[in-house]
Amino acid sequence: MTTTSLTQMREPVAIIGMGCRLPGGVNDPDQLWKAVSQGRDHITRVPEDRWKAMVERMHPTQVPAEPFPAGIVDHGFDHAFFGVTADEAAEMDPQQGWVLEVAYEALADAGIAPFSLAGSRSGVYVGAASVDQAAKNFAPRNRAGVFTSSGAGMAILANRLSHALDLDGPSLTLDTACSSSLTALHYAVRDLRTGDVDQALVAGSNVLTNPVITTSFTETGVLAPDGRCKPFDQDADGYVRSEGAVVLVLTRANLAVERGHRVWANVAGTGLSHGGRSPHLLAPRSSRQAQAIRRALADAGVAARRVGWVQAHGTGTKAGDRVEAVGISQGLEQDLPVAVGSVKSVLGHLEGAAGVLGVMAAALAVHHGQVPPTSHHHRLRDGLEGRIRVPIELEPWPYRTGDDGGRVAGVSGFGFGGSNAHALLAQAPGLESPEREDPMPLPETVFVSAHTPAALSAAAGHLAVNAPRGGSVGTVADTSLARGPHHRYRAAVTTADLGSLVQGLRALQDGTPDPHVVAPRSAPDKRPRVVFVYTGHGGHYPASGAELMCLPAFARAVEEARAALAQQSGYQVWAPGEAITGFVDAQHCTTLTQIGLTALLAQRGIEPDLVLGHSVGEIAAAHTAGVLGLDAATRVLARRSELLSGLSDVGGLLAIRASVDEFDAFTAPDEGRVTIASYSAPAVQVVAGPTQDLDHLQARLAERDVWCKPVPDVIPAHSPFVEPLVPALREALAGLVHRPAQVPIVSTAHPDHPRDTVGLWNPAYWSEQARRPVRFTRALSAAASEGEGPVVFVEIGPRALLVEHVAHTLPQSATCAVTGDPYGLAQGIGELYTAGVTPTGPIERAHPHLVIAPGWDRTGRAAPVDDGGALPVPAPDQVEAHLITEVSRLLPLPEGLDMDGTWIESGLESHGLLQLTSRLRRVPPWARIDVQAFLPDQTWRQVAAALVERLPDPHQPSPEGSPSVLP
């Protein structure tokens, strides 16, 4: 073997993600480390509801006085998330559901989006030895269905995960009894080193539903009467069975470094052996166990003296403990007793999953640099002195083993048929922790999503636990964006400090109100069209954008616009944070803020599909659309605000809550001196007129209890008062360069004009635009009708002025506002997210230490709705309803079943058609029906008619002389 090939074969494999579903609610690496480092006992007894079913399957002479002690895991499975129907889930081995869910959690721990693996050379290697579900599904006289075989086939444990992730690599389920998953790890490491796969998911699982297996082990004498594993103890008398699943995500160490993954530990080497012809099939053999250890050491190129601790198989059986202790001392040949431990003392024996659970526990020990205690160990068994020692308290890693290359741990797994496996885990280079919280942080937007409201609640709860690890809200925000699943049900939390973030996440989890939470809602199936609506006059204030100037994208856009505006104005113009001294500053504030906010949104990948602007906001809209370059836009702003400011003393604007018809009645006494300047909403108008007339109008409206409010720092724009200024404005804008729109734009002065009207945005337009009323409601309707599908209107300006008007005008459309204060920005982005617009950045602060764990919906249980026997025969007029009920078990039917559509048009796949046929056969007259009844061109109504024809004649007596149709 060449040096290069030897190096390649010894290349370490990085564990970049870990997930688990273990007894006592241990469901992630942190919880597992707490359990093992604190020696918590997680063994209980089989729950009463499950025990009743077990008792029915036991021989009467073997039923114990009380339920078996065991490590128990909730059998809940979010089948809908994975597209599994309730009928299929009811026949599925619980292990299949665990492996699916835990694999997604392990991928989240690795910072890998599951969809990103589609088509990749990723392998799935599952170790499992439990045939409990097969014993149930394949039991005598059990009514078989479409999913009976796939629900219990051991190969499906791996295959279902490969199918869900659309993987292209090997998909294997290995059974070597209790060494199954460690053997699976061995073959995964081999395939990674040879380059056959780039990623591997290694899983182990075990389930306890068949009491006969536990009874058999009781007869064999390997189970502890008190239900506790006491590894290597003088009083060791057997083990306790447990269920659960563990999944590890592996890749080559060089790829892990290259891609910036957090690495829990490296798998340095693995080795296999077999006990051969021992005294009997189930008898372990120490020399062969030692051989597996030596092979792992040789595979890793690691000296035996570097192994500081061994996560032993450690079941607590007398023969097993003695043989294993001898094998460890022979395999490692260390001068001092080898430190060993066993996670089984805390969680019980997961049998087929025991190996990867040992790897996960050892990886955590290597990562933390501590040796966990072994519970229920009090006195070393006689005869093992000098070979091993069993720490019973949390200890620092033995210094002598880590001084020349890092910490190394061994993991053993032995099958009761003699199949042995050993793995060596080595310390991996650590990553720097996330930066701590900025002393002057800006509010950030943290994104939370899931596929159902209940799952969203669970996801928020997970993030509430994990968020402090991020060190700052900015890190959590970027990580939630970069690594979040971005499912349909969405919410956000907008805050600047971790305490408020956790509080907001807990509120999301509990469904209680919180000021930092953007309320959850269901986003549309496809990204909505985004319409930017630029606010007109009235939202200005001195601090608009001042805090946002610390964001480079905002500051750069604002300063560039200020420089261009100063060039046009001939003086230094308003800057964020400065006092607003009049109309001109107010107009400048509005446009500069809008330009800066648009740049910030663009940096986040949020760009409009269409724009429109209200009054002065149309300048920023035209700039965003590409109609006006920066010089042209600032020229319009400078000349327009300068000329209009001369009207400050002649009149103003008044917003009133009234329809157009009501306005006519209210202003009749003014004899036309008060006119509508903005058609803002169906029941809101902004009117212009002389100050005295507006005062009188306001008094009359107050008498009628009609809401109205003067607009501050304003002139009577969009009214006849502007008419004398139109020629001067047209002259001031002569030669203005305008270009074809790059983004569609709707004019609020001429909303009915085709967008491509020649010269629409020329100097004449901009001079008339200040005179003509703002046809805002009509422009909104034009924007909404530009395309099909959902749309979200985003108001952009110093403050939100128009959101309510948009919602009033187009109540079916989503609305939000992005404003010139940090909270307004964060809130607006959160509302956009919940409307279905996912930002693309920033993600620079995303950190591998922070896990965005998925949430699962546990509100429903997949359980058979009947015993599988015959179903009642429906009356002829109920056949359609019966058919719809059966189809609804296989398809979501939010709008019901179109009886004039075919099964293909309804979205039913061929496998689902087989399931439907199987269900229909349970009605006796349809027992021989087959898929030929569902020809592709047959409508559901025709199918129902064919089913009616197969019903017996209710007037024809049955052979027994009783009616042939049930009443």
- Catalytic positions: 178, 313, 349, 615
> Cα separation of 228 and 224, whole Å?
6
Long-range contacts of 457-460 (CB under 8 A, 24+ apart): 457/508, 457/509, 457/510, 457/511, 457/855, 458/509, 458/855, 458/856, 458/857, 458/858, 459/853, 459/854, 459/855, 460/491, 460/505, 460/506, 460/508, 460/509, 460/855
Long-range contacts of 210-215 (CB under 8 A, 24+ apart): 210/54, 210/57, 210/130, 210/131, 210/132, 210/135, 210/136, 211/54, 211/55, 211/57, 211/58, 211/68, 212/57, 212/58, 212/135, 213/130, 213/132, 214/68, 214/70, 214/241, 215/58, 215/59, 215/62
Give the DSSP letter string of 588-605.
HHHHHHHHHHHHHHHHTT
Q: Which residues contact 212 (CB under 8 A, 6 or more apart)?
A: 57, 58, 135
Q: Which residues contact 766 (CB under 8 A, 6 or more apart)?
A: 636, 640, 729, 733, 736
Least Cα distance to 111 among 604, 840, 847, 842 occurs for: 847
Q: Which residues contact 877 (CB under 8 A, 6 or more apart)?
A: none
- In this structure, the number of other CB atoms found within 10 A of the CB of residue 907 comes to 12
Query: What is the radius of gyration, based on Cα positions, of the chain?
Result: 36
Q: What secondary structure, in 3-state letters, does 127-160 show? A: EECCCHHHHHHCCCCCCCCCCHHHHHCCHHHHHH
Q: For helices 617-625 and 630-644, what crossing angle results, to 10°?
A: 170
> Cα separation of 479 and 467, whole Å?
10
The tokens describing 313, both together, are: 């198989």
What is the phi/psi pair of residue 297, to 5°? -60, -45
> Cα separation of 963 and 953, whole Å?
9
> Cα separation of 675 and 773, whole Å?
9
Helix (H, G, I), strand (E, B) or coil at 91: coil
- Hey, what's the torsion of the CAs at 388, 394, 400, 401, to 10 degrees? 70
Amino acid of residue 266: N
CA distances from 713 to 637, 642, 647 (A): 16, 14, 11
Least Cα distance to 577 among 602, 550, 552 occurs for: 550
Burial of 33 (0-12, 13-18, 19+ CB in 10 A): buried
What is the phi/psi pair of residue 733, to 5°? -105, 10
Strands 652-656 and 708-710: antiparallel
The stretches of 467-551 forming alpha helices (DSSP H) are 473-483, 498-510
Helix, strand, coil percent content, the chain, rounded in steps of 5: 40, 15, 40
Residues across the chain: 967
The tokens describing 564, both together, are: 């261009």
> Cα separation of 420 and 178, whole Å?
9
> Cα separation of 614 and 622, whole Å?
11
Give the DSSP letter string of 377-422.
--SBPTT-TTTEE---S-EEPPGGGSTTT--EEEEEEE-TTSEEEE
> Cα separation of 879 and 873, whole Å?
9
